[in-house]
Structure 1
């Protein structure tokens, strides 16, 4: 379900009707006269414009050939030497390594690396322990090892439009009554068939500041 944000400004209201024909009828008329706290005010009913967004599917696959390595110590050696040490260390099958390595991507700034093995399924050798010994500079370090996920975005589709069942009320004048009372008066007016209204599912009125709401598509 896509969630579409909308910003409701001061002295505005959102009304969601059970029947979308009611919303369209009120929007078509446009100007409506409403009695608020014994004051007659003119408000405008307009469609709710929904912001443009993007709908997509995210597919996650755990790689059988790659692993993520972190907590790599920063040693006073060039990056290519560090890549060689990582390759030698994770190649050794007698220590539970994955065998022949196709590529090592090393990032000194974050102390991380992605190691790609030549044999499919080699990454499963590291599933039993989140730590792996790393021998360098005469010491044994403990590196953190985790599965590598390949992410793919599919079925990307833009969406936009207007809400069919919800309308926006503009131009609601400030009166002495509190926000809840004004909201009740608005709801009473627009649920009456004699005013062109109908059954209301939801209503939100903002007298001060602003509010953020989400529409579900």
Structure 2
């Protein structure tokens, strides 16, 4: 089970019921009059939001204009020279057909990788099935690794809150003279009574001063 921390502020309480229908019913009632010894307190019941996350759709497409090249050898030549040699090599070679006119070469020295962007859409399809591609530089033949370039797009991005089905959050509990444990007992008695819409309580935590972090397992 995943332990989820929750910050409980002063004059708040968390109640977890055995039956989730009890928690749902109390939440729908929203406001409750709780007898705290010599006074009646109007408290508010809120849904207990466990955490906040995000929902989204991830769309992945294979670029028709770009390829990713790796295993480029580290040679003692300037960066722009290597970039030019990559452009000439992938434009056309004697050993294998190239992709045609090249729009851009993004070469990263030290990583041994580059992204080749061709001018015409669909040019990268010529390299499908070619895991290795010959590369002639500085009098030596090398085999470069060629792979598709993927485009990633996030769609329908929206936040969401996961709400507990069995736990409620009480807010607006007034300060009283009784100690924290006594007030917690009075809250528990009120919300256990079926006449108040309550039911059997598994756990309860009340904070009268400061804050506390409570861990719940979901």
- TM category (shorter chain) comes to 0.5 to 0.7
TM-score for the superposition, normalised by structure 2: 0.61
Deviations 1:13-59 (A, max 9, x none): 75571576335168754979xxxxxxxxxxxx863234444333222
Two-structure CA RMSD over aligned residues (Å): 4.1
Distance 1:72 1:210 in 2: 53
Aligned match of 1:128? 129
Find the aligned partners of 1:141 and 1:147 in 2 and give their Cα distance.
Answer: 20
Q: CA deviation at 1:130?
A: 1.2
Q: How does 1:44-193 map to 2 (within 5 A)?
A: 47-92=47-92, 94=94, 95-160=96-161, 163=163, 165-168=165-168, 193=194
Runs of 4+ in 1 over 4 A off after TM superposition: 12-16, 25-32, 192-195, 197-200, 209-214
Q: Deviations over 1:156-203 (max 9, x none)?
A: 33344x727341589xx8xxxxxxxxxxxx9xx97x856734699xx8
The number of aligned residues is 179
- CA deviation profile, 1:122-142 (whole Å, cap 9, x unmatched): 111111121111111221112
Structure 2 alignment gaps of length 5 or more: 8-13, 36-44, 171-180, 182-187, 205-212
Larger gyration radius, structure 1 or structure 2: 2
1:7 equivalent in structure 2: 5
CA contact (8 A) 2:49 2:164 kept: no
> Does residue 24 of structure 2 align to residue 21 of structure 1?
yes
TM, length-normalised to structure 1:
0.62
Measure, in 1, the Cα distance between the counterparts of 2:145 and 2:15. Answer: 53
Partners of 1:86 and 1:168 in 2: how far apart?
Answer: 63
2-structure distance, mates of 1:121, 1:204: 62
Distance 2:129 2:16 in 1: 54
